Structure formats: C-alpha cells, structure tokens
Structure 1
Amino acid sequence: MIEHCWHHHHDILEIRPVAELKPAEFRALAAQVDPVICQHGYLQGLLIDARHFRGWQNFAALVSHCVFTRNQHRHVHRIAVLSDNALLGFMPQLLNHFVGAEVRPFPADDTESALEWLLYPG
C-alpha cells in the first residue's frame, strides 16, 4: 500500500509505502500525479518516506514500479529519500544512474530538511 499527500500547492508529492507494493497501487498513484504534471509541466519534488518499505508483493509489482518510474522521472526535478536503512541509503546513488531527477538521502526523522531541499533547489 502506498499512502500519499501533497505539500506546497501540489509542488511536492510525499509517498509512504506502508506494506508490500502491488501493481494496482502504481496505476492509482499515476492517476494522482499525471494531472499535476499535465497542468504544471513538472513536479518540483518527490519525497519518498521509506521508513516502512517492505518490498514488492511480486515481480509484477516490481515491473509496475519500474514502469511508473520510467514514465514519471523526466518530470520530477528532485527526489528525497527518508530512511535509516543502510541498504536503502544506497538507493539515491543507484537512482541517479537511471533517472533525470537529482536524488538525495535524508535521515528518517529529517522530513523538514528534505522538504526544504525539495522546495528550494540550488
């Protein structure tokens, strides 16, 4: 399951995976994100709260995640990842090779700094 909320007038999307991810969740998330991208041309930032990330339900869910990322990453300026998991700490360096957005890790309890970085690039 993916919970989400918007910050700063739909400039920043926060997503929180709270259970194993399923393919339908990425379609539902795209239905929320696509209209904002169509209206503004981009999404200033994506905040991924990965503190409770439990992985994917199955291979189809992983593929859906990859498709969602492929379709959306060109329209996102920055991605912040909140996590204290050492393995997830390497995710930003890995993502930087595959997405056009700048990706940066933040400690799990530092939402405020992550939002500030997403909102005020430079």
Structure 2
Amino acid sequence: MMQVHLNEKEYIAILKPNGRLSESDFNSARDIIDPFIENHEKLNGIIIYVETFPGWDSFGALISHLKFINAHHKKVSKVAIVTNSIIGEFAQDLGKHFIAAEIKHFEFTDLEKAKKWITSSKK
C-alpha cells in the first residue's frame, strides 16, 4: 500500500510506500494527483518518502510505475527521493537523463529539507 498526501497549498504530493508497490498503488496515486494537475496544470514537486525501497509485487506493478513516471514527469518541476536506500542516488543520477523534472536525493531524516528544496525557486 502507498499513502498519497497532497499538499494543495504548496503543490506537493508526498508518496509513502508501505510494503511492495502494486498496480493499485499507482492507480490510487493517479486518482489523487491527476485531478489536481488538471485544475492547476502542474505540481511543484513529488516527494517519495520511504526509508528503504520496498520493490514491486509484480512485473505489472513495475510497468504501472514506469507509466506513472512517463505520464507525470513533464508536469512536475521537482522530484525529491527521501530515502536511505541506494536507489535514491541511482534514481537521481540516472533519472536526470530521462526525466524532465529535476531530481534530488535526500537522506530519510531530511524530509523538511526536501520540502524546502521543492518550494524554493518554484518553476
């Protein structure tokens, strides 16, 4: 299951995975995020907040994750990956070659720093 919190004042979505990611996690995230983007044209940022990366529960979940990224990366200015997992550094380095949003990795204890980074110099 993944919790999705939408901060409408700051235009930030915080995604908190709890266990392996499923297709329904990304469908639920779309149900919350997409109407906001339709009404406001963008998000300032998405924060992925998880201590260690949980992986996916199926190949379909991985595909759903990739489709989610593809559908949203041009409508989001920044993505903060707040985790102690090595996947944070990997995603930051690799993602900048494929994703329009600016990506930055933060340690799991630095959630507030990630929020400040997203809200500073809003695009």
TM-score, normalised to structure 2's length?
A: 0.92
Partner of 2:33: 33
Which residue in the other structure is 2:48 paired with?
48
* Deviation of 1:120 (Å): 1.2
Three-state SS of the structure 2 residue aligned to 1:19 is: coil
- Count the aligned residue pairs: 122
Q: CA deviation at 1:8?
A: 5.2
C-alpha contact (below 8 Å) 1:18/1:52 kept by paired residues: no
Q: Per the alignment, do residues 8 and 116 of structure 1 end up closer, same or farther by CA in structure 2, a change over 3 Å counting?
A: farther
Kindly, what percent of the aligned residue pairs are identical?
A: 29
Gaps of 5+ in 1: none
Q: What RMSD over aligned residues (CA atoms) do the two structures have, in Å? A: 1.4
Q: 1:44 to 1:71 in 2, by over 3 A?
A: same
Q: How does 1:56-95 map to 2 (within 5 A)?
A: 56-95=56-95
Shift of 1:35: 0.6
Q: In structure 2, do the counterparts of structure 1 residues 85 and 53 end up closer, same or farther at CA, with 3 Å as the change threshold?
A: closer
Deviation at 1:93, TM superposition (A): 1.1
1:98 CA displacement: 1.5
- When normalised by structure 1's length, the TM-score is 0.93
Structure 2 unaligned segments of length 5 or more: list them: none
Q: What's the counterpart of residue 115 of structure 2?
A: 115
Letter in structure 2 aligned against 1:26 = F
Q: Which residue of 2 aligns with 1:13?
A: 13
